[in-house]
Structure 1
């Protein structure tokens, strides 16, 4: 496997993944490690970190897409950045296999490794799901979702009454966790604004459906709050289908199953299917020599060092945090006693991991365990609508919405991005949501290709051709 001479030969801390954990670890270590003669290398297929809690607002037109991401080049000037994927880690030999965006795979040696590859969307083998559905884990998905929803409204406005128009105006979200609830309510708010400006579509034609396999939504909040959220959504015309799962999504028709008795729960046409039914640890961790727990996450100690399977030994030089790690939660988390995979844990673990790895490698400071008591949960459901439970205090409506924006505005990395997001919120408050779709993002060259393609010349009319021949004959006679 070829080497890459372009990369540094200094002692390397390899950060696998440039998401929330990877960004903060690299940001907090880059200058310190450089001063000690080392280098922090971040490998990620994308040149930016995505603040995923903002994806519903990006899809709903409340936040500009580029403001919800953080550039690695801008904020990691002293780190070594590699656009590519780590496909395997051989920690016994301190080597990782990197597949760049272009070119041949190569091996990268390191001194310490930070596993921060995050999570990916968890799906099931449902017929048609891969072809019909879209997730909400990336900024690209959020933008595509927003454009499709708005495009469907415009298209439906010119269709006659019937199944095709109904399918265009039906929007389905599968998954009743935070992501699904925030997404469907933000989209409903946006669609309501778009319909008000389109006289050919009536609000009572719009159908939003939430499909959740469990008997309740949002396990992060109290059951009382969850019931209030269901009632709130239904008051907005959103159909909430609990104990219901998606069985098929073929040929534009969704088929549902009643989970209580496994019987059919009906079928209907829908052009838009959003899948937010959970996440799982990035499957690349299976190509490492680290121990994994039943959920597929890396076994990690409370001090964020990777451990062996029975947690009796520390793996020297290996660290993990965020969604890809199974970090013990002494304050109570998942049933197995590990931290829930969410942004709140990721950001706090990342900052501690940077301190711990610096203390362990360079002897500055002490390695400390991760302890964080969950302060609560906040969720936004569109402008002035939300639910929250902060330090035991329950909130709903406008106050919860403000708590949601306040928390995530503070949690957004870097002051530059905070300012851009807050500026966008101010603009949205003054002028309303941006409901302008952008077409042809998947085929941006279509207009140019159409213009550059030679067009056939229009055929001359038969009469014009005869007249032209007569004139030619007269000219010929005059010349003679």
Structure 2
């Protein structure tokens, strides 16, 4: 755009963007958590970044209501609107899930999971109560897609390494359970590589239960549909995502699953000034439809979101200047997944040919692809530096659980002292107290 032609305002409840494919590695300590996020104000110096939430949109007046972190809500007028709110964890009304579950959608959850798992090893190593020990060393993961399979693979690797430093804890004492309602894991890489992924995890001692689901997890007592019951202090929920539910309040046309309904140009149906992309958008998959697949929609992954963003940016400029819109079309290039250190699966699509890789080579493909896809050279260099240092240095196995309540210890030290009984002198009768004061004076 020309200088001064427009003002770009970004509204987000966080002041950074998270590269979610690296969350499992951040949870396992392979990458520093700060290197997985990109500060918006640093990478968008020409944009106005507001830390808050959009609560309502008035399309007639072209006004969005912003709720900042502090203070009262206010209205922000706009000429053009882009909806890119992403997705949230898809959950179900399972008893105990809200209280016991740990998600994997943000860097905070990845850090929390790492600290939590290491704390469980600390507990198990320090107790003589066999029931407490068994519950601490049982880890349940619900969801066998990319997030679930990668997270359990990375966390199992970390726990295996950490156990070397504990006297009373070994890998054989731990129990890792992966549950999925589907009949296979890693469906994104195809049935054969999915079957390999399942066999690989099982070879590492992970129990995989397919075509089943979790009925309840009240107080950590996990009950599965297949009848299995276990007590666990760690329940990780990675059973898919859904569009941000706040979209239903914006008055936009939505698809059957809550996504913003868009044209192939990424324009929202029925509008000429609103666009949507990414996980919260229902975008026709033009390439798949040309190949004969009816009613095909772009899947919610980074491969499509990154490319949609470029087309969307061009189309917004075209809309401003009255030029025709360009349709988004992208053929699937495949998928890669890491299952821990030196382990992974990859499916590379080259025209009509599909190259399937597994093991160490697939793991190299996984790291190379996501390493170069990471936004900004600053973060690329830091991520590759983390990986390089890990070749020569051992993995950190320190739990910083207190980071979630950093003021607790200071509060205990600084809180007002409890009131004590009055001193003996203050409790003396007035006459006696006066006589003793005279005696002291003399």
**Superposed CA offset, 1:83-117 (max 9, x none):** 10001112232111111111111111100000001
Q: Which residue of 1 is the match for residue 425 of structure 2? A: none
1:304-383 equivalent positions in 2, closer than 5 A: 304-308=266-270, 315-332=271-288, 336-362=295-321, 367-383=325-341
* C-alpha deviation, 1:343, in angstroms: 0.8
* C-alpha deviation, 1:367, in angstroms: 2.9
Q: Partners of 1:100 and 1:116 in 2: how far apart?
A: 18
After TM superposition, the score normalised by the length of structure 1 is 0.84
Q: Partners of 2:73 and 2:264 in 1: how far apart?
A: 34
From 215, 219, 227, the counterpart of 1:251 = 219
Q: Partners of 1:384 and 1:161 in 2: how far apart?
A: 36
Q: Partners of 1:348 and 1:407 in 2: how far apart?
A: 15
For the 8 Å contact 2:223–2:230, the answer to whether it is kept is yes
Q: Which residue of 2 is the match for residue 60 of structure 1? A: 28
For the 8 Å contact 1:428–1:434, the answer to whether it is kept is no
Matched, 1:164 2:122: no
Q: Which residue of 2 is the match for residue 218 of structure 1? A: 186
Q: Which residue of 1 is the match for residue 438 of structure 2? A: none
Q: Which residue of 1 is the match for residue 424 of structure 2? A: none
Matched, 1:195 2:163: yes
Q: Partners of 2:376 and 2:408 in 1: how far apart?
A: 37
Distance 1:94 1:106, change over 3 A: same
**Superposed CA offset, 1:366-388 (max 9, x none):** 63211111110000011110000
For the 8 Å contact 2:273–2:319, the answer to whether it is kept is no
Q: Partners of 1:191 and 1:457 in 2: how far apart?
A: 47
Q: Partners of 1:192 and 1:172 in 2: how far apart?
A: 16
For the 8 Å contact 1:119–1:282, the answer to whether it is kept is yes
Q: Partners of 1:451 and 1:103 in 2: how far apart?
A: 32
SS of the residue corresponding to residue 296 of structure 1 reads: coil
Q: Which residue of 1 is the match for residue 250 of structure 2? A: 288
Q: Which residue of 1 is the match for residue 346 of structure 2? A: 388
For the 8 Å contact 2:103–2:238, the answer to whether it is kept is yes
Q: Partners of 1:59 and 1:109 in 2: how far apart?
A: 40
* C-alpha deviation, 1:252, in angstroms: 2.0
Alignment gaps of 5+ in structure 1: 1-31, 259-264, 309-314, 459-479
1:172-211 equivalent positions in 2, closer than 5 A: 172-211=140-179
From 80, 84, 89, the counterpart of 2:57 = 89
* C-alpha deviation, 1:397, in angstroms: 0.5
1:401-480 equivalent positions in 2, closer than 5 A: 401-453=363-415
SS of the residue corresponding to residue 188 of structure 2 reads: coil
Q: Which residue of 2 is the match for residue 72 of structure 1? A: 40
Q: Partners of 1:92 and 1:341 in 2: how far apart?
A: 30
SS of the residue corresponding to residue 361 of structure 1 reads: helix
* C-alpha deviation, 1:161, in angstroms: 5.3
**Superposed CA offset, 1:45-65 (max 9, x none):** 000000011100111111111
* C-alpha deviation, 1:327, in angstroms: 0.7
Q: Partners of 2:275 and 2:144 in 1: how far apart?
A: 32
* C-alpha deviation, 1:457, in angstroms: 12
**Superposed CA offset, 1:12-70 (max 9, x none):** xxxxxxxxxxxxxxxxxxxx36x143200000000000001110011111111110000
Q: Tell me the matched-pair count.
A: 417
For the 8 Å contact 1:297–1:326, the answer to whether it is kept is yes
After TM superposition, the score normalised by the length of structure 2 is 0.91
For the 8 Å contact 2:272–2:319, the answer to whether it is kept is no
Q: In angstroms, what is the RMSD of aligned CA positions? A: 2.0
Q: Partners of 1:178 and 1:285 in 2: how far apart?
A: 25
Q: Which residue of 1 is the match for residue 430 of structure 2? A: none
Q: Partners of 1:455 and 1:159 in 2: how far apart?
A: 33
Alignment gaps of 5+ in structure 2: 421-441
* C-alpha deviation, 1:432, in angstroms: 2.9
Q: Which residue of 2 is the match for residue 261 of structure 1? A: none
Q: Partners of 1:429 and 1:447 in 2: how far apart?
A: 36
Matched, 1:124 2:92: yes
